[in-house]
Amino acid sequence: MQRTRTTPLASIALVAALAVPAISSTSFAGTTTLKGEVVDTACYLDHAARGAKHKQCALNCLANGVAPSLLTPDGKLYLLLPPHGPHDAYDKIKTLAAETVTVRGTELSKAGMDAFIVEAVE
| pLDDT higher than 80, residue 11 | no
- Residue range 113-122: average pLDDT? 96
Residue 63: left (phi > 0), alpha (psi -120 to 50), or beta? alpha
Degrees to nearest 5, angle at CA 70 with 107 and 45: 115
pLDDT category of residue 6 using cuts at 50, 70 and 90: very low
Highest mean pLDDT out of 8-17, 27-36, 93-102 = 93-102
| pLDDT higher than 90, residue 45 | yes
DSSP string computed for 3-25:
PP---HHHHHHHHHHHHHHHHHT
pLDDT of residue 31: 85
Task: Give residue-wise pLDDT tens across range 74-101.
Answer: 999 999 999 998 889 999 999 999 999 9
